[in-house]
Amino acid sequence: MSAGVAAVRTSGLGKRYGSRWALRDCALEIPAGSVTALVGPNGAGKTTLLHMVIGLVEPTNGDVEVFGRSPRRDAREVLPRLGFVAQDHPLHRNLTIAEMLRYGRKLNPSWNQQLAASRIERLGLSQKQKIGRLSGGQQAQVALTLALAKQPQLLVLDEPVASLDPLARREFLNAVMEVVVDDGLTVVLSSHIVAELERVCDHLVTLAEGATQLSGPIPEIVARHRLLTGPRGDVASVARVHDVIRESHTERQTTLLVRANGHVYDSCWEQHEVDLEEIVLAYLGYRPGNGASTIPAREAVRA
Amino acid sequence: MIEFHLDGRSGVPAYLQLVQQVRQAVRLGILRPGDQLPTVKEVVTRLTINPNTVLHAYRQLDLEGLVEGRRGVGTFVSAHPVPPPPGDLKGLRSSLDRWVGRARAAGLDDEGIAALVAEAVRPAAVSRVA
């Protein structure tokens, strides 16, 4: 599953706007053929990261490689292999679908007009329709069609379903999954809600305040984390072996969310499985170094 | 043919839900030896899930000997998947009904009954996982 060359690899990647770092020291690897969720609260640096992946933004420092090449220095090789759908799928509202497709064909040497036309037909749309008259879900599907007609090997979707109703959301993700099965392309989708993407993704990267926290195959991430509950007491003995991501205490009880390094043998802790959303929330409220959350609880829940 | 469904709130991983549904269908005779499972693409587009989830489930079922994948053709229920359902399934069911009746009479609600059953079953479940 994760064998072969990485679709995306970054190391020490950072972007500064003025005095503010939008992304800092980001190291991650997205295997070819994976469907990766990039999750983090608004303002965490997701869009900045994606814009550096597609070569739209120049890094302040560090490197980003797409299929082993720089999206800016080797733009000619990299860009034709990339499909991108920006947040809120901006399209020219006054153009018809046919005009958008003509645009796409002119700009992209690898354009597949037949693929585009048949997708539009399958969506039950006519090419004569104006973009501005389409529903949000239909606009998202047209934006996806434009990206797919380039026949990319990496599809980058920035908050693709945030503005869609549940039905349009499901239809959009379904269309993406269908291409994944048919063409085996690599997909990166961002969202501030992990639950939205959990069933369609096999890899996860979390970002908060410009830094990566969690990165890897989802089944491994879920398997490694545990919720431990026990009488209030000594956390240090657990923390010596395992990484304590979050701890909370009541008068008589301590609850720990840990990344386990091997088995947890200590019998005074009751162990529970913990789902992905819970793990992600714990990380988004987690400060390396002091263990406990310093982000206000409200902020973490919204993420 | 079997139609899969997913319960997003069950806390059971999606791949395991698929595995359990096939096991259950075989046990109940809904799936018989030689029957074909839906293709990966059919499951993916019906449930909108990641293809690896389906592959993972099918691999697991293959390892258990419940199904066999034939390259380029599909995935089929094996000839002798599991021991046939016990002849006294009916008897077990009716004695369970009587037990549930007794539990209710003793004042247990549904949740209490489920907790008691889960506890009685748990040792077996643990040894299966290990």
At A297 the pLDDT is 37
- Give pTM, 2 decimals: 0.81
- Closest to A275 (Cβ–Cβ): which among B6, B11, B52? B11
Q: Which residues of A touch B51 (CB under 8 A)?
A: 177, 180-181
Cβ–Cβ below 8 Å for A177 and B50: yes
CA separation, residue A76 to residues A55, A71, A82, A107, A185 (Å): 11, 8, 11, 13, 19
At A295 the pLDDT is 41
Rounded to a whole number, what is the distance in Å from the CA of B8 to chain A's nearest CA? 9
Q: What is the pLDDT of residues A99-158, one digit of tens each?
A: 999 999 999 988 999 999 999 999 999 999 999 999 999 999 999 999 999 999 999 999
Cα(B83)–Cα(A301) distance, integer angstroms:
48
Q: What is the pLDDT of residues B57-72, one digit of tens each?
A: 999 999 999 999 988 8
Mutate one of B6, B47, B52 to test the A interface: name it (highest A CB count within 10 A). B52
Cβ–Cβ below 8 Å for B44 and A181: yes
Q: What is the pLDDT along chain B (130 residues), one digit of tens a residue?
A: 789 999 877 778 899 999 999 999 988 888 999 999 999 999 999 999 999 999 999 999 999 999 999 888 899 999 765 555 666 677 888 889 999 999 999 999 999 998 888 878 765 444 444 3
- Closest to B41 (Cβ–Cβ): which among A173, A181, A219? A181
Cα(A294)–Cα(B85) distance, integer angstroms:
56
Rounded to a whole number, what is the distance in Å from the CA of B11 to chain A's nearest CA? 7
Cα(A124)–Cα(A138) distance, integer angstroms:
10
Side-chain-facing half-sphere of B60: CA atoms under 13 Å: 17
Q: Contact A216/A241 with Cβ under 8 angstroms? A: no
Q: What is the pLDDT of residues A213-241, one digit of tens each?
A: 899 999 899 989 999 998 887 788 888 88
Q: What is the pLDDT of residues A1-46, one digit of tens each?
A: 445 679 999 999 999 999 999 999 999 999 999 999 999 988 889 9
At B120 the pLDDT is 82
Cβ–Cβ below 8 Å for A181 and B14: no
Instruction: Compute the CA torsion angle A291, A292, A298, A303 (nearest 10 deg).
Output: 10
CA separation, residue A64 to residues A11, A31, A35, A51, A124 (Å): 7, 14, 18, 11, 39
Cα(A210)–Cα(A15) distance, integer angstroms:
9
At A180 the pLDDT is 95
| ipTM of predicted complex | 0.80
